Amino acid sequence: MTDAADQLPDDLASAHAMILAERAARRDAEALAARAQAVNSHSDALIARLRLEIEKLKRDIHGSRSERKARLLEQMELQLEELEADASEDELAAEMAARSSAVRAFERKRPSRKPFPEHLPRERVVLAAPSSCPCCGSAKLAKLGEDITETLEVIPRQWKVIQTVREKFSCRECEKITQPPAPFHVTPRGFAGPNLLAMILFEKFGQHQPLNRQSERYAREGIDLSLSTLADQVGACAAALKPVHALIEAHVLAAERLHGDDTTVPILARGKTDTGRIWTYVRDERPFGGQSPPAALYYASRDRRQEHPERHLKTFTGILQADAYGGYNPLFKVDRDPVPLTQALCWAHSRRKFFVLADIASNAKRGKNAAAISPVALEAVKRIDALFDIERDINGVAASERLQRRQKDSRPLVDELQAWLRSERTKLSRSSPVTEPIDYMLKRWDGFTSFLGDGRICLTNNAAERALRGFALGRKSWLFAGSDRGADRAAFMATLIMSAKLNDIDPQAWLADVLARIADMPVARLEELLPWNWSSSKVAAGCSIRLR
């Protein structure tokens, strides 16, 4: 029996009304879910902040100064940083969802903000007053007063407060009051200017300076910006920059060839840290003369299961240049939907295995503990280096020319190397150290030799390894990510910052300009804010900012 509620109307008008009602109900449900998420994130951040304050009070009262206690407080501060950013990001998402529904928007209760220090210089910016009443067109306007919006801004190591004055005028004819709109701030009811926000973001994600260290440095300069305040700005900026990140992501995944790699990132867990991963996929067509701008895309995960690269590259079709990690293997299967990827392995990775056994300089430093130099490994390094010499000559030329040169000069060397490796392998015992790098290459020979059939493929995966160098260096500063969402946010911001660096522009200057303009930028023109387009516009205007 069919329920009456499941019956569809017969006339078109009733069907349209039912569809509109269903859409309104769905929007309300999504807004309620976003509001609930914002409430939960706010509660988590509040609890973490109170716990941190209690622990600090306990330390002050009981006088504990142990190193373990100090590390515990640092861990709690990092957790608070991520939770505050989560709460701010969820609040904005709930506010956006509430705009198209009947659900009331959620507003976080923040502590009252302290007034800006009096010693900071004030720059008064008066918005132009209307010359006539926008209501009736009369020119008889009388000033009623003014509203001042103070924005904390930074000019390289010089702090100041910009007072944006919004004068009010009333019309003598119709008594209509007019006033310019308030200036845009990324954070709701915010106070930080775009240059300050860009500096906070770049210091944290580009220079690997955690927010608690930034807060301490600002305090020494006479500016009181707490950890939670800075984290609030980070979360809001991440929400505001999502459209730009989505465009970079689409640009990277539309490439013909990608470099892929991953590195470890400890992620905080209950009473320990998990060995998480940061994955990178780099689009760089400059080695084969491509015209598309380079860009890097990052993702984070708590483990290294193969499901992650499968999800990351679900829509990608082309060449994947990576190491021999088994998690990539499903991407190369013939039954992959939509099509299998082309595998290209890294010769620098295989060379490194031989070089360790043939490194004369390192062995000389070990003295009596030096291991014997393997003549087979030394010969393998020399043969591989001959291939690298050819690649240096054809770097940057068109793919067709690279392929032609490889067929002429590289293929004979590769064929000779394969025959020589097979011959030497038969002479070695299974316990010989050099058998491992030889087997590593011979078992994956098709992946190593794919560059001979496609001029777009590079001999190495160094582009991806360079893209991960920042995380390898940053681990010494921030030690671990405070949560899964914190790791995702680090990958999100690394995508923006590294893409700017690859296009030879200053990431901080670019972020400042994007944050200042993105609110008023139509969706159809968002591509103007991408690093490569932004650089071109700056050069055209004669005021480009280059990365030193």
How far apart are alpha carbons 293 and 283 in whole angstroms?
8
Asked if residue 235 lies in contact with residue 251, where contact means CB atoms within 8 angstroms, the answer is no
Asked if residue 508 lies in contact with residue 198, where contact means CB atoms within 8 angstroms, the answer is yes
Asked, for residue 189, whether it belongs to a domain, the answer is: no
How far apart are alpha carbons 331 and 326 in whole angstroms?
10
How far apart are alpha carbons 51 and 72 in whole angstroms?
12
Which of 445, 462, 479 is a domain's end point?
A: 462
Say how many C-beta atoms besides its own lie within 10 A of residue 39's C-beta. 16
Query: How many Å separate Cα 314 from the centre of its chain?
Result: 19
At what angle are helices 435-442 and 411-427 packed, to 10 degrees? 130
Nearest Cα to Cα of residue 199 among 244, 226, 237: 237
Asked, for residue 94, whether it belongs to a domain, the answer is: yes
Lookup: tokens for 230: 């800075």
Number of domains the chain contains: 2
For residue 129, how many C-alpha atoms fall within 13 Å in the half-sphere facing its CB? 19
Asked, for residue 391, whether it belongs to a domain, the answer is: yes
DSSP-based three-state secondary structure for 279: strand
How far apart are alpha carbons 293 and 285 in whole angstroms?
8
Q: What is the pLDDT of residues 409-440, one digit of tens each?
A: 999 999 999 999 999 999 888 888 899 999 99
Spatial strand order of the sheet with 295-301 comes to 295-301, 272-283, 257-269, 319-322, 342-345
How far apart are alpha carbons 87 and 37 in whole angstroms?
9
Asked, for residue 359, whether it belongs to a domain, the answer is: yes
Residue with tokens 């904390």: 152
Asked, for residue 161, whether it belongs to a domain, the answer is: no
Asked if residue 341 lies in contact with residue 320, where contact means CB atoms within 8 angstroms, the answer is yes
First CA to last CA across the chain, in angstroms? 74
Lookup: tokens for 500: 């700017």
Q: Name residue 359's amino acid.
A: D
Lookup: tokens for 358: 């043939």
What are the CA-CA distances from residue 481 to residues 194, 250, 311, 329, 440 (Å)? 25, 26, 22, 29, 34
| Per-residue pLDDT tens listing for the chain (548 residues) | 455 556 777 778 777 888 888 888 787 777 777 777 777 777 777 777 777 777 666 666 555 444 445 556 666 666 777 777 777 777 777 777 777 676 676 666 666 677 888 888 899 999 888 888 988 888 888 888 888 888 888 877 788 999 989 999 999 888 899 998 888 788 767 788 999 999 999 999 998 888 988 999 999 988 999 988 899 899 999 999 999 999 999 999 999 999 999 998 888 877 777 888 999 999 999 999 888 999 999 999 999 999 999 999 999 999 999 999 999 999 999 999 889 999 999 999 999 889 888 775 555 455 555 556 778 888 999 999 999 999 989 999 999 999 999 999 999 999 999 999 999 999 888 888 899 999 999 999 999 999 999 999 999 999 999 999 888 777 777 767 778 888 899 999 999 999 999 999 999 999 999 999 998 889 899 999 999 998 644 544 444 333 33
Say how many C-beta atoms besides its own lie within 10 A of residue 504's C-beta. 14
Q: Are strands 319-322 and 257-269 parallel, antiparallel or unpaired?
A: parallel
DSSP state of 481: B
Which pLDDT belongs to residue 479? 66
Query: How many Å separate Cα 261 from the centre of its chain?
Result: 15
Helix (H) or strand (E) holding 7: none
Asked, for residue 401, whether it belongs to a domain, the answer is: yes
Which of 462, 485, 514 is a domain's end point?
A: 462
Asked, for residue 119, whether it belongs to a domain, the answer is: no
Residue with tokens 């969802």: 97
How far apart are alpha carbons 377 and 387 in whole angstroms?
16
At what angle are helices 67-99 and 484-502 packed, to 10 degrees? 80
Q: Name residue 483's amino acid.
A: S
> E strands of 254-400, at which residues?
257-269, 272-283, 295-301, 319-322, 342-345
How far apart are alpha carbons 286 and 266 in whole angstroms?
33
Nearest Cα to Cα of residue 263 among 472, 460, 495: 472
Q: Name residue 18's amino acid.
A: M
* Residues forming a β-bridge with 161: 122, 152
Asked, for residue 414, whether it belongs to a domain, the answer is: yes
DSSP-based three-state secondary structure for 156: coil
Which of 462, 487, 517 is a domain's end point?
A: 462
How far apart are alpha carbons 525 and 542 in whole angstroms?
21
Alpha helices (H) in 66-172, listed in sequence order: 67-99
Lookup: tokens for 259: 């470099």
How far apart are alpha carbons 107 and 99 in whole angstroms?
13
Asked if residue 215 lies in contact with residue 230, where contact means CB atoms within 8 angstroms, the answer is yes
Asked if residue 103 lies in contact with residue 35, where contact means CB atoms within 8 angstroms, the answer is yes
What are the CA-CA distances from residue 110 to residues 49, 79, 229, 252, 477 (Å)? 12, 18, 9, 38, 29
How far apart are alpha carbons 450 and 54 in whole angstroms?
60
Q: Give the residue numbers spanning the domain of 51.
A: 15-99
Which pLDDT belongs to residue 471? 86
How far apart are alpha carbons 224 and 191 in whole angstroms?
13
* Whole-prediction pTM: 0.74
Q: What is the pLDDT of residues 91-148, one digit of tens each?
A: 777 777 777 676 676 666 666 677 888 888 899 999 888 888 988 888 888 888 888 8
